Amino acid sequence: MVPSHTPPAALSRTLGLGTAVLVVVGLVIGSGIFRVPSVVAGIVSSPASMISLWVTGGVLTLCLGLIYAELGSAMPVAGGTYVYLRRVFGEGVAFVFGWTFLLVNPASWATLALSCAEFVAQIHPLDARRERVLAVTLIGIFALANCRSARFGARLQNAATVAKILAIAAAIATMAYLAGAAPPPAPPAGIPSRTGVSAWLTGLVAVLWAYDGAAGLCSLGGELRSPQRNLPRALILGVGSVILVYVAINLGLLQSLAPATIAASPLPLAAAIEPLLGSWTASGVACLVIVSTAGTLAVSVLADPRVFMAMAQDGNFFRSVGVVSSARHTPVNAIVLHSALACVYVCVRSFEQLAATYVLGLVPFYVLVAIAAWRLRRSRVAGSRAFRAPALALLCGVWIVAAFLLIGNALADTPAIVAINLGLTIAGVPVYFLWCRYRLRRVQ
């Protein structure tokens, strides 16, 4: 029988519902919404198709959020996905997830930090070395803030997320103000038009990437106040807010620009508000992306190290990583380890390589999470729940189909990336057996 999990005594439940909602929003809204509309417009052929993709992607993300809400309500402890997989599938599967997370997730931090640095370079020119130095500095600043205390780290990410939301609201208001003032510019020639189910599904893959991240809130399950009530509410409110923001941005873009123009613009938001800001457009949008991406990095540093902490406290990682500071009530060692790995990625890999590393590494485990929720509901032994997701079997089925579409599309388009991620995950199996031998020798 798999042992039950209890939250470490040193963790303090200091995070309320408002912070939890901002964590979800901060994790999801990064740089993707500023780049993905261009990708989507280059794939589908009509405004209706574009909006339907963003609505569908939001609904699928809400399905996954409801699945995580039920699991988080049943197991309100630190570690999130790692804890859920261990409860249902056992230590081996959970270890392989943790191994994959260890190798893949720091790459997401590095990607966010490098993205910030690249947009800073658009405002103030920086060479490649200085961009990397700035990226490492950003990771260090947020790591130090979270090492100070979870409450301080939460306040920092709250401020960054509120600033992000206000900046995006200003951009949406600007597009609404400009809508109808002048006819949309003529679309550039040579942009191919695509129609049909295949094109729509390809666009959905890109949209789901922009929606990724909400599940990270569950890693903070051991520090939320009233988690059985607040965690489901935060996931629903947070994902719902993101859907409204994403749809509003795309409606604003379509009011200002033709789909072909959006497809031809690397940052379509800049093209949409250029009539008002003029020469300041590029700098203004760069600042918006910097604030948004930095906010996502801040909340990632707050949430992600709790997975390493849970693994270590479970005996599946070095015990020192699971130590929680009695004075600061935060897993300092886990934060330092995660930050150090992210800094290594910044120093040795490019932005494109980092993004490729992260794309598919964790998607198969989301499928396992959906299966875990369904099995726990059927077993009726998952513990006390304050939340039961409606039509759970349907939610799980919808998400699993969507995940396989994502994996299948990537397998067809970028088989090398799929092979790398699959290889990283499979490598965790022999590592698990080696770890078991090491743990046994340490006990003897």
Question: DSSP readout, 239-295?
Answer: HHHHHHHHHHHHHHHHHHS-HHHHHH-SSHHHHHHHHHHGGGHHHHHHHHHHHHHHH
pLDDT for the residue numbered 413? 67
Cβ within 8 Å of residue 388, ≥6 positions away: 70, 377
Please identify which residue in the block is written with the tokens 């901060």.
26
Q: How far apart are the first and last CA of the chain?
A: 23
Q: State mean pLDDT over 263-291.
A: 77
Does this model's pTM top 0.75? My answer is yes
State how far the Cα of 308 lies from the Cα of 220, in Å rounded to an integer.
12
Task: Give one word for 258, left, alpha or beta, with left for phi > 0 and alpha for psi -120 to 50.
Answer: beta
State how far the Cα of 107 lies from the Cα of 407, in Å rounded to an integer.
19
pLDDT for the residue numbered 265? 81
What sign for the dihedral angle of Cα 36, 37, 40, 42? negative
Mean residue pLDDT of the chain comes to 81
- H-helix or E-strand spanning residue 305: helix 305-313
pLDDT for the residue numbered 350? 55
Residue 330 pLDDT greater than 60, yes or no: yes
Instruction: Give CA 154 to chain center in angstroms.
Output: 17
Cβ within 8 Å of residue 245, ≥6 positions away: 29, 33, 165, 168, 172
Contact (Cβ atoms closer than 8 angstroms) between residue 347 and residue 136: yes
Closest CA to 331 of 319, 342, 316: 319
Q: What pLDDT band is residue 33 in, cutting at 50, 70 and 90? A: confident
Cβ within 8 Å of residue 392, ≥6 positions away: 66, 67, 70, 373, 374, 377
Residue 97 pLDDT greater than 90, yes or no: yes
What sign for the dihedral angle of Cα 127, 111, 35, 155? negative
Report helix, strand or coil for 11.
Answer: coil
Q: What pLDDT band is residue 276 in, cutting at 50, 70 and 90? A: low
Output DSSP code: residue 391: T
Please identify which residue in the block is written with the tokens 């399905």.
63
pLDDT for the residue numbered 303? 85
- Span 122-163, pLDDT tens digits: 788 888 888 889 999 999 998 998 888 777 877 887 888 888
pLDDT for the residue numbered 39? 83
State how far the Cα of 145 lies from the Cα of 141, in Å rounded to an integer.
6
State how far the Cα of 248 lies from the Cα of 428, in Å rounded to an integer.
42
Question: Vertex 241, ends 140 and 396: CA angle to 5°?
Answer: 95
**pLDDT over 90 for what percent of the chain?**
21
State how far the Cα of 223 lies from the Cα of 117, in Å rounded to an integer.
31
Please identify which residue in the block is written with the tokens 């070395």.
129
Closest CA to 342 of 304, 307, 315, 289: 304
Q: State mean pLDDT over 178-193.
A: 52
Largest CA distance in the chain: 77
- Span 223-256, pLDDT tens digits: 888 888 899 999 999 999 999 999 999 998 888 8
Task: Give one word for 277, left, alpha or beta, with left for phi > 0 and alpha for psi -120 to 50.
Answer: alpha
Structural domains of the chain in order of their starting residue, each with its CATH number: 17-443 (1.20.1740.10)
- Span 199-208, pLDDT tens digits: 777 788 778 8
More confident residue, 25 or 404: 25
Contact (Cβ atoms closer than 8 angstroms) between residue 402 and residue 359: no
- 239 phi and psi angles, rounded to 5 deg: -65, -40
Buried b (16+ CB within 10 A) or exposed e, 359-372: bbbbbbbbbbbbeb
Q: How many residues does the chain have?
A: 444
Cβ within 8 Å of residue 73, ≥6 positions away: 227, 228, 231, 232, 385, 386, 387
Q: What pLDDT band is residue 380 in, cutting at 50, 70 and 90? A: low
Number of H helices, E strands in the chain: 18, 0
pLDDT for the residue numbered 369? 93
